[in-house]
Amino acid sequence: MKPVIARTREELAAARARIEGTLAFVPTMGALHEGHLSLMRQARGSADAVAVSIFVNPLQFGPGEDFDRYPRTFDADVEACAGEGVDLIFAPTREVMYPDEPQVTLKSGPMGEVVEGAARPGHFDGMLTVVLKLLNLVRPDVAVFGEKDAQQLAMIRRMVADLNVPVRIMGGRTVREPDGLALSSRNRYLSAAERGTALALSRALRAGADAAAEGPDAVLDAARTVLDKAAAADPPLALDYLVLVDAATFTPAAAGGPAVLAVAGRVGATHLIDNVHLQLGKEH
């Protein structure tokens, strides 16, 4: 059975009122892939019903970023949701989400100005604003976000805690291609040669994780060795950042304990991110 598709706030409210029991929610920007589907399966195991949103949020794209060319595959997305037993799809237009130019938005604070936030100023302000709007409209009991966007997940958890939003946030593990490349809607932009270079991101993370027992410096040195080779490749990888941070705060990681090794770079015109969780001072 196909999911109910709500395109307006009124249609969403009516569909939400018909849902009995608990509701799990997976916000997306569409162009769904196996990573998204894994989040839907996790949502299905966490609640009685599942809702998915499909909305390419203009607030989280900066000048010169890929908002206009971001892939939009709505019909295929609906079929994918149906295959996972999704009950409700909220697919608003920009006018539905932002009927007027927003005057009051969320500020991500210092946590949103580092790492990915430093590379994309204002990105997390727009992301948090739309996520809060979606949570208020859908009113789920549980919301599931991918761990591939580790900083996004950490910031959403912080927002929910700071603003007392009544929803439980769950993280879903990163899904990878057989060659190690983290699944992303942007991967379809890559040529065969660019994809070969992009594999350096996951290889660098594996090299860093393998050095976790030796401490932070060894982790970063091992990852940089891989990335330096990719910077000299054809086509090259333009590194945006490589950081080792605390998973909850995205401040520099302590010498021992849990951490996230996060990397981002551009291959051609495509911006890609990836990360791995590790335990400093212990073998990965």
- Binding site, by residue number, is 29-36, 60, 146-149, 152, 175, 183-186
Q: How far is CA 83 from CA 35, 79, 243, in A?
A: 14, 6, 38
Give dist(CA 258, CA 248) in Å, integer. Answer: 10
Give dist(CA 161, CA 75) in Å, integer. Answer: 36
Q: Catalytic pick from 36, 123, 271, 277? A: 36
Residues 228 and 207 sit within 8 Å (Cβ to Cβ): no
Closest CA to 208 of 249, 253, 166, 163: 253
What DSSP line would sit under 1-69, residue for residue?
-PPEEE-SHHHHHHHHHT--S-EEEEEE-S---HHHHHHHHHHHTTSSEEEEEE---GGG--TTSSTTT
Residues belonging to the binding site for (R)-pantoate are: 60, 152
User: For this structure, is 36 an active site residue?
Assistant: yes
Residues belonging to the binding site for beta-alanine are: 60
Q: Active-site residues: which are they?
A: 36
